[in-house]
């Protein structure tokens, strides 16, 4: 039986890599996409060594021309893309007044424009076929103000709004579009945010002076926790769910 095909961006590590592994373990043929070709190759080699159907596709999601080439190549080699997961993301920390033009542009290029370019290219393939599911990995920061995260939060809010608007337009084509909004997750991005104390301890305890509550469940998410939420929204079990944002943050944003 021919495998379902999924394209996952940000696949070289963290949440993206966890999504790739989980989908591949469920017999989905995964096109693993990332700009960091060396890191992507290492990640995919491990998955392939475990007997999983994963293929590496180094690509820059901030280039619409490169994305168009990527989607054509994946469909030519693996088959029609049924699932898309936008997991590529970057974080530039800094107070809003001190962010540089480059900080803002680089953040939006990946977190917002990258979601637009990849989703547009894949949706234009899905629509004539009349089926598909798209999940964008955003952030709980998209709906909750965070100090020193203005560019990141704004870009994730843009990605969230775009994904829901896309879902509204694609509903008539039987294509579902949803968002997973993680909170603090045990990834390299989280560990790059703190220096004096461990990232996990700070996240769990909260930072009152930054108006940030802790995590009620008393732990940060593992990438696999977020991957499970993504896989659910892609699955037939979520067949009547679209335009939805599923927050996976252990209660850090108090359900708001």
Tens digit of pLDDT for each residue in 188-213?
Answer: 787 766 554 577 888 888 889 898 99
Provide, rounded to the nearest whole percent, the portion of the chain with pLDDT above 90: 88
Average pLDDT over residues 71-90: 98
In sequence order, the β-bridge partners of residue 17 are none
Residue 149, classed as helix, strand or coil, is: strand
More confident residue, 115 or 212: 115
Q: What is the pLDDT of residue 189?
A: 80
Mean of per-residue pLDDT scores for the chain = 95
Contact (Cβ atoms closer than 8 angstroms) between residue 174 and residue 201: no
What is the average per-residue pLDDT within 148-156? 98
Residue 196 has a pLDDT of: 46
- The span from the CA of 30 to the CA of 32, in Å, is 6
CA distance 222 to 150: 24
Q: How far apart are CA 170 and CA 177, in angstroms?
A: 8
Enumerate domains of the chain plus CATH numbers. Answer: 5-183+223-247 (3.40.50.720), 186-220 (no CATH)
Q: What is the pLDDT of residues 21-59, one digit of tens each?
A: 999 999 999 999 999 999 999 999 999 999 999 999 999
Phi, psi of 242 (to 5 degrees): -150, 160
> Does an H or E element contain 230, and which?
helix 223-234
Residue 170: pLDDT above 90? yes
Above 70 in pLDDT, residue 232?
Answer: yes
CB neighbours of residue 68 within 10 Å: 15
CA dihedral 232, 236, 239, 245 (to 10 degrees): 10
Catalytic residue IDs: 152
**CA-to-CA distance for 43 and 56, rounded, in angstroms?**
9
Q: Which of 164, 202, 158, 168 is nearest to 183 (CA)?
A: 202
**String of b and e for 176-202 (b: at least 16 CB within 10 Å)?**
bbbbbbbbbbbbebbeeeeeeeebbeb
E strand residue ranges, the chain: 5-9, 29-34, 54-58, 81-86, 132-137, 175-182, 245-248
pLDDT of 224 above 70: yes
pTM recorded for the entire structure: 0.95
Mean pLDDT for 2-17 is 96
CA distance 252 to 245: 15
């Amino acid at each position: 039986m021919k495998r379902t095909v999924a394209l996952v961006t940000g696949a070289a590590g963290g949440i993206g890599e966890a999504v790739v592994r989980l989908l591949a373990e469920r017999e989905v043929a995964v096109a693993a996409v990332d700009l960091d070709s060396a890191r992507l190759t290492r990640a995919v080699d491990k998955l392939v060594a475990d007997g999983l159907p994963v293929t590496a596709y180094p690509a820059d999601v901030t280039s619409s021309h490169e994305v168009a080439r990527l989607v054509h190549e994946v469909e030519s080699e693996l088959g029609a893309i049924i699932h898309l997961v936008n997991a590529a993301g970057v974080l530039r920390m800094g107070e809003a007044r001190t962010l540089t033009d480059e900080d803002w542009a680089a953040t939006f290029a990946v977190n917002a424009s990258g979601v637009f370019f990849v989703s547009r290219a894949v949706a234009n393939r899905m629509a004539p076929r009349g089926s598909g599911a798209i999940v964008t990995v955003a952030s709980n920061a998209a709906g909750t103000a965070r100090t020193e995260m203005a560019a990141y939060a704004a870009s994730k809010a843009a990605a969230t709004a775009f994904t829901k608007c896309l879902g509204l337009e694609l509903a008539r084509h039987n294509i579902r579009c949803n968002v997973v909004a993680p909170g603090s997750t045990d990834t390299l991005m989280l560990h790059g945010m703190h220096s004096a104390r461990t990232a996990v301890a700070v996240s769990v305890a909260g930072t009152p002076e930054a108006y940030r509550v802790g995590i009620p469940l008393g732990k940060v998410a593992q990438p696999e926790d977020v991957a499970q939420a993504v896989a659910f929204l892609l699955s037939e079990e979520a067949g009547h769910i679209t335009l939805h944002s599923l927050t996976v943050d252990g209660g850090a944003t108090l359900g708001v």
